[in-house]
Structure 1
Amino acid sequence: MEAVAAPVPGDERDPTIVALRPLLARTQLESRPLRCAYDAEADGWSPAAFHAKVDGLGAAVVVAVSSGGAVLGGYNPEGWIGLGEDRASNGAFLFTWPDGNTKLRAQKLGKVGGPNLAVIDNPGSGPQFGADGLAIPLKPRGQERIAKSKLGTYYSRLPDGGRSLFAAREDSKRTELESLKVYVADAKGVEWRLEGITWKSTVVE
């Protein structure tokens, strides 16, 4: 049976964190208090607003609610730094509650095809997992809430073979989001240093 992370004191203050916590077993965030770093409704539905709030904060969880009621998102173990680099990781994953019932266990979908393109860190775009696993560009103007999801190439398909994180009746190429948030460790941030050609991070308490 898949490992489940235990609750952390303070989780109960945010129902979204309560729902997300079990998914974080064996991740950097498993036992760390979380906070909401970005809320599109409050901070703005734009790439600039997104990166202003999440860049440099380390590992993060994206969670969105679609207009059809699905609750979905992804875990980015590398975080964003907004330098236009693709982030490689076997530890990234996507998840969904297609019917929105977060009291049940989420469907968790791991990275496939190797670590490359786990997350695309584009300063001119919102969160993107793989080339097409989950893409929320936050643009163009007037379509900031549109997301798309195609599973099977970079992230596993659903257990029933489904190829989208959205509710069954939603369009995998064009689904509108009701909300979008990003959660990170409740710490000061992350210090980045360049080791050779690779950026390494350390959480600052």
Structure 2
Amino acid sequence: MRGAELALLGPLRLSGKLCFNTTRKKRRTWKVRPVRGLWNFFGGREEATDSISFSKQSGYHELELPSFLPLLVQDTFLADKELKCCYKASLDGFSAYKFHGCTDFKGPCVVLGVTRGGLRFGGFNPLGFRSTDDYYDTFKAFLFYCPQGDSPPVILPKVGGSGAAIFDYARGGPQFGADGLLIGPPLVPVMGGLSGPDPNKGEGDLSQAKSRLGLSYACRPDGKDSIFGDDKKATVVEIEVFTCPAIRDMY
């Protein structure tokens, strides 16, 4: 029997021993991983790291939605839909590339900004963002702002036809109309094609915004031609973008 056993073990020593040992190591590692997962799940040392990873994988921030949001979208594609925040500038960054990295191909969305003075403002993009360096026509886009206090948001509809309602520049933040509301516009002209400025430079800073109403979006009810009131420009301290995960899955 010993000779037969050696005859059988011979080939394993020449070609199979290392493979057998490697397989054992892989199995041993695999058995340990669920234990680490359970330890983290029940409050182990690496729980925070796992939570951050899950947040990145889900692509959404878990936060309380603004109370006026359902009223704002009641006549849009997002009515009665579950909404989540896919971009939060104070956490994800104020650069245009960070913005598009979080919002592109997420479907129709609400952009909500807050100025240094506390004014809440934004717009509804029914087409979503895709970094196409192009503009799109639609009557369904609108701007809005929230007066001080508990007043509901004031909606500023598209005027002057449906043309050029949404601009989707990869190096810029959200832009409604040629001049209605620009948040972090590109720092150099967007020319397209093979000529023009380096496309990797000149990205916009979403902490800066400007507005001129009347040509592409309606003026405020008080007659002011800027969404910011008396100021044409504003410093933005926060931007959040809300989308519907169910619609995003269709892209």
Alignment TM class, shorter chain as reference? 0.7 to 0.9
Q: Which residue of 1 aligns with 2:107?
A: 58
Where does residue 122 of structure 1 map in the other structure?
169
Q: Distance in 1 between matches of 2:168 and 2:186?
A: 15
Conserved? CA contact 1:121–1:127, under 8 Å: yes
Letter in 2 for 1:105: P
Q: How does 1:18-167 map to 2 (within 5 A)?
A: 18-99=67-148, 101=149, 103-137=150-184, 144-166=206-228
Q: For 2:140 and 2:206, locate their aligned partners in 1 and report how far apart those are by CA, in whole Å.
A: 28
Task: Decide which structure has greater helix share.
Answer: 2
Question: Contact 1:94/1:108 (CA < 8 Å) preserved in 2?
Answer: yes
Q: Distance in 2 between matches of 1:139 and 1:43?
A: 19
- Pairwise CA distance, 1:189: 1.7
Aligned mates of 1:117, 1:188 — CA distance in 2: 24
- Structure with higher Rg: it is 2
Q: 1:49 to 1:138 in 2, by over 3 A?
A: farther
AA partner of residue 227 (structure 2): L
Structure 2: distance between partners of 1:43 and 1:104: 29
Tell me the TM-score normalised to structure 2 length: 0.65
Q: 1:130 to 1:138 in 2, by over 3 A?
A: closer
In the alignment, what sits opposite 1:176?
Answer: 235
Structure 1: 5+ residue stretches without partners: 1-12, 191-202
Count, aligned residues? 174
Give 4+ residue runs of structure 1 displaced > 2 Å after superposition: 138-144
Amino acid at match of 2:111: V
Q: Confirm or deny: 8 A CA contact 1:65 1:72 kept in the other structure.
A: yes
Higher relative contact order (CA 8 A, sep 6+): 1
Q: Is 1:14 matched up with 2:76?
A: no
User: 1:15, 1:28 → 2: CA distance?
Assistant: 17
8 Å CA contact 2:87, 2:240 repeated in 1: yes
CA distance in 2, matches of 1:142, 1:87: 20
Deviation at 1:31, TM superposition (A): 1.0
> Does the 8 Å contact 2:173/2:204 carry over to 1?
no
Output the CA distance in 2 between the equivalents of 1:152 and 1:188.
Answer: 32
Gaps of 5+ in 2: 1-62, 188-202
Q: Which amino acid aligns with 1:183?
A: F
Identical positions, percent: 36
Matching residue of 1:186: 245
SS at match of 1:73: strand
